[in-house]
Structure 1
Amino acid sequence: MTATILKYLNSVSGLSWKCKECDRNCFPIDHTGLNKFLEGKHTELLNNLNSVFDTLKSDFKKVTEENMQVLRKSESDNVIPPPHSQILKNKTQPAIIVKPKNTVQTATLTKSDIKANISPLESQLSLTKVKDTQSGGVSIGFSSKDEKQRFKERATAKLGVNYDIHEIKGFQPRVKIVGLSQEYPDSGITDFLEHSVKTNSTTFNYLPECRVLKQWPTKKNQKKFQALLQVDQTTYDVVMKAGGVFIGYDYCYAYDAIDLIRCFNCNGFNHSSRSCTQKKSCPKCGLDHSVSECNSTVLNCINCKKLLKDNEPQTNLNHAAWDTRCPVYISVVRGKRQIFSA
């Protein structure tokens, strides 16, 4: 070995070598230098992984927020006023039918008599629907039962000689709010709820209706309470669109209180897992495993996926099957509500 090669070998940190004729290490490994080198590489690798993870987390959060905004906008755009048939079948708000005793009279004349005798502004009425009916009648929808009652009294007094005044009771949905830090007096809950709804409602001179049916502690935390409320249609729409309401300093999440049977096997409705004949599906990602085994970061509603058609690529699947804003869930709830109110 030449002196140049020996000098070069001695200058390389961490290099171990030995003579060919013996089995003795002439230059042992530099453990301190090697450990520092490995620790540096380990730290560099962790920093790179953390950077990639933070980027993926940020991108996923951004995409999720964008998808939820699209879903909310889609639901908002799809909200349409209730048809006249729903008013007549007690599906939505309170209503009155003013029907002439003269069966050959037109609805136009009936409406003229109503206008001449009852002013919506003077009577402080918030009308939600005015529609001609058969035999010259007119149906009028109201935001609350109080308004309907005021109209009925005035119509009976001023038009009762020539007209029949029929009351149509509107269906009042139920809402469950969760997150109360204490068991409030019923009047406390209704006062806070009515104040919040009045602030967020665009209906002129609106008077909310709310009644507390029940309060009880949650199963997971006995110090947290939930309440079952019966409200009018406008209050229901405002609270469910907001997703919650402040009761005092407690922000309470709001849920539709119609009791639905949901299958924990396939995530479908109106049957239990014991009688389910479908294959198992995850409520988060839609694949054939239980939610406890799911590691997916992408939401994919299995119920919406089953209804997806080839010509509807715009259908939004980026939500869990248990999401209360799921189009399938909303459709099932509406169907249940119509059955209960018939």
Structure 2
Amino acid sequence: MECDVCKKNSSQIEIFACDGCKTRLCRNEVLSLINASEYKVLQLKSKRHLKFYCEKCTKGESFSLYQSLIEEKQKHIEAKEKIISCLETNNKELLQKIEMLEKKLQNTQNESKGTFSVVLIKPVDEQDGILTKKEIRQNVDPSKIEVSKFRQIKGGGVVIGCSDKNQIKDLRTQLEKQLGQKYTVEVPSLKKPKMKIVNINKDDVGLEDSDSTIIDLIVKWNNLFDGEDFYMKVLKKSVNNFKNINLILEADSITHNKLLSQERVKLGWSRCRVFNHVSVLQCFNCMGFNHYGKDCKSQQICSRCSGNHSYKECRSNEKKCINCIKSKKPNENLDVSHEALSRECPCLLRIISLYNKKVDYLSDCV
């Protein structure tokens, strides 16, 4: 191979080919054209960081080549701009969805942080609840109390709810002073929060391990303070689809909050996800809440279409939630087009919200 200008061959001097017209030029010719150091010419040859065009190409005799290169570059730029625009649009939509979910979660959290502010009044001697309500009306002044509920319960008792937890003390004092001899007055304590630890390696925790052993391991590996206020109880041990162990625990609010804030619980060689656990009992016969299917005396209801048949027998393509149908008030815009077992069911979410009000969560938890 020789230089097309000086006719020197490659054995005498290094030869470079033009990236445009493929004209072959020696090193000296290339240096005279690009005004570059010898190092850069060698770099051009070995690593091809730069493209080299001869004088003929740079003067426009191969203008079509330049035009095609510019058009190709422009296409790359336009493609990148489209990708960037698409990503920006998707990011904007995603951020909007995240913002909506955060607002929804915040509303749920604000509701769930409300204290379980009720007083239970039960007669010492058996009597009708109507009489209990009558005596309360006669002896208690409700003018300074924001009553949220006032209804009868089993055994002739009455439950009174207040929107402000500080009013419970005043209400309890009034009731004990006026009706203390004939009635017992009780402010129910909040429930302990629950959590679920999932996918624990069976070599670290087994079903045969005692509850006390499991609790000791959790305390040890997670630096928990086993003090006077510490409380933890194993409610359930089960094996998941991966042949690993799942645990449902009940704990004091401080321990519950600490473990949830860690996001993962340490147990030997395992680092396991931990979640807040809410217990909502739903019947698989009538789809109602707060009772088991084995105790249900109602007619069977399909969880998909609300018909009087089992889910396996359902042939309908329309989804209808029996709980939302029953709870829907006239002119209320309540969506019923979902299955009764859906986690997004408004009735289920309302029950979870009511449940959370009865749980002793910390203010910055759940």
The two structures share one fold, judged by TM-score above 0.5 = no
TM-score by length of 2: 0.36
Alignment TM-score, normalising by the size of structure 1: 0.38
